[in-house]
Structure 1
Amino acid sequence: MKSASSDFQPTTRFGLLTGRGVLIGLLSAFAVVFTANGLLIYNALSTFDGIEVADAYQKGRAYNHVLEAMEIQKQLGWSAAVEVDDKGSAHDVRLRVAFTDRAGQPLRGLTPHGVFYRPVVGGLDQRLAMKEISPGRYEAEFHLAEGGNWIARVAAEGPHGEKFAQEQRVTIRD
């Protein structure tokens, strides 16, 4: 078989394409990708790591104790209706909680406290003891440093050492 003659001429506009040229182009493309990845990894590791507590690993290992405490709390049959009122002024917040037992009766004689903390930002947490304003209803007033997303945590201890805790995400307007 005879090959047909053709008038095709490879372009030389960018120079003659050789194995060396292909290798240099390929290595250059990978160098750009690795440089970009390196910069992104450096920026990711040198900024906030998402860990707010120093002993996060140990707390993670002790999580079974948290699960046991949750089961004990569930067996108590207590419930808490948490209400957050911003009182119409910036960052002044009233936290109200109504505690009831399994039968729906108000729980008296508890020692509750309320905590407001930011999910990501440390150092702005506030903890206050709550006062009983009526049977089973407790209240505390907070002045928060800024608006935004907060977690309101209510914890109470009963007269016989029973423990109860509940968290609720709230948004405080600026």
Structure 2
Amino acid sequence: MSPVKFMPEKFEGRHVLFALIAFFGLMFLANGIFVYYALGTFNGNETTDAYRKGLNYNKRIAQDDAQTARGWKPAARYDAGAGRLVVEIQNRQGRNVAGLKISAEIRRPVNNTYDQSVSLAETQAARYIAPLDLAPGRWTLSAKVFGPGGEGKPAFRFRQRFWVKESP
């Protein structure tokens, strides 16, 4: 009885060709599966009515320039212990700006199931607070700040990402 050979006597060019075809075929299959699931879970739109907003892009640039000239610096944080979102906006001199109306959207970057819209109420020392219960993980705050009347176009917009830690 002769021993069974698992490898051919010679490793020829056709063996290398089949190995390369199998390797790259497997890579294309894996990438195709990932692309299929990626496109099935996120359509790529981050804003509604993107075409119309694109037509008004120059106006948006002018608004951003006016916002930069205003010199406000927003700071947002989530207080997990109290279950609230706290926003402070400082002017050029470092003082908190009072008398504003703030509306915000809190979004998960990977899933829109937990998205929330909130209005922040002004409290002492020009701090704006909204009660909010957020699950641990990464969140994105998109806020619009209106003047004292709270009407018309936002005087200031900002976006900030933050992380809610797992409670011990």
Instruction: Judge same fold: TM > 0.5, yes or no.
Output: yes
Deviations along 1:90-138, one digit per CA (max 9) or x if unpaired, are xxx3111222322334323211023221122222111111111125221
Letter in 2 for 1:128: V
1:32 CA drift (Å) = 0.8
| CA-atom RMSD in angstroms | 3.2
Task: Mark the CA change 1:77 to 1:14 in structure 2 (over 3 Å): closer, same or farther.
Answer: closer
1:73 CA drift (Å) = 1.1
**Identity in percent:** 22
Partner of 1:153: 142
Partner of 2:129: 139
Deviations along 1:123-158, one digit per CA (max 9) or x if unpaired, are 2111111111125221101122x2111123332111
Larger proportion of helix = 2
Task: Mark the CA change 1:26 to 1:122 in structure 2 (over 3 Å): closer, same or farther.
Answer: same
Partner of 1:121: 111
Match of residue 92, structure 2, among 91, 96, 102: 102
Letter in 2 for 1:157: F
Task: Mark the CA change 1:112 to 1:14 in structure 2 (over 3 Å): closer, same or farther.
Answer: closer
Match of residue 166, structure 1, among 130, 146, 158: 158
The structure that has the greater radius of gyration is 1
Counterpart-to-counterpart distance in 2, 1:171 and 1:134: 26
Counterpart-to-counterpart distance in 1, 2:77 and 2:46: 31
Q: Which runs of 5+ in 2 are unaligned?
A: 1-6
Number of paired residues? 152
Q: Which runs of 5+ in 1 are unaligned?
A: 1-12
Letter in 1 for 2:144: A
Letter in 1 for 2:142: R
Deviations along 1:52-111, one digit per CA (max 9) or x if unpaired, are 52769x47x9395554433221111222232320026xxxx3111222322334323211
Check conservation: 2:146, 2:155, Cα contact below 8 A.
yes
TM-score w.r.t. length of structure 1: 0.69
Mapping 1:47-126, distance limit 5 Å: 47-49=37-39, 51-53=43-45, 58=50, 62=54, 64-65=57-58, 67-87=61-81, 93-126=83-116
Letter in 1 for 2:133: H
SS at match of 2:130: strand
